[in-house]
Amino acid sequence: MTGGGAGAPLLLGIDPGLANTGWALIDGGGRLATCGTIKTAPGPIGPRLLLIAGEVRRVLRQNRVEEAALEELFMGRNATSAVAVAQARGVVLYALADAGVAVQEYKPSQVKMVLTGYGKADKQQMLRLVAMQAGAGHRMDDHAADAAAIAICHARSRRLRQLTRGATV
C-alpha cells in the first residue's frame, strides 16, 4: 500500500518482530491510511535488523509522521523469541528517535481494552474491530493489523488525554 505523502500528519503504529514487523499509518480521525509488514529472511541477525531499520526510515521519509506507538515488550515463555523482539524494537526505537518522532508505548492489555473494552479480548475480536475501523479496500496480515490496533489505541488515548487536559475540575 502507498503512504499518506506530505499531507496531514499521521500516527504510526508498529508491531516489532525480527521475522515480521507490522506497521500502520492512521490519520487524525483514526482511519487507516496505509499499512504493511517488513519481512526478514532467516539468517544472521545484523542484516535483518538493518533491513527493519531501513524500512522504518523509508516509511518515515515517505510520510509525515507526527507520533509513533509501539506495544511494550511482552516477556512470554520463550526467552529466545523475546530477545529477538527486543532487538527489533531497539532498531525501531532508534530509527524513530533519529527522525525526531515521539513514541508512546502500550501494554497489550491496554490496546485490547481501548479497542474492545475488554483487556483479554482474543485475536479474532481484535482483527474484526481493526478491519471494521480500516474499512473496505485495506488488506493486511496479522502483523499489520496488530500495528493498526496499536495506532488506533494511541489515537484514542491521545484524544482522551487532550480532552482531559482541557477539562476543568
Query: Which is the catalytic residue, given 27, 66, 105, 142?
Result: 142
One-letter-per-residue 3-state SS of 46-66: HHHHHHHHHHHHHHHHHEEEE
- Is 142 tagged catalytic? yes
In angstroms, the CA 119 to CA 82 distance is: 21
Please, which residues bridge with residue 105 across strands? 70
Query: All 3 cell numbers of residue 85?
Result: 523482539
Place of cell 527493519: 52
- Is 67 tagged catalytic? no
Query: Which is the catalytic residue, given 67, 71, 72, 122?
Result: 71
In angstroms, the CA 91 to CA 54 distance is: 9
- Is 141 tagged catalytic? no
Query: Which is the catalytic residue, given 15, 55, 67, 146?
Result: 15
Alpha carbons within 13 A on the beta-carbon side of 132: 8
Query: Can you point out the beta strands (E) in 41-118?
Result: 63-71, 102-106
Q: Which residues are catalytic?
A: 15, 71, 142
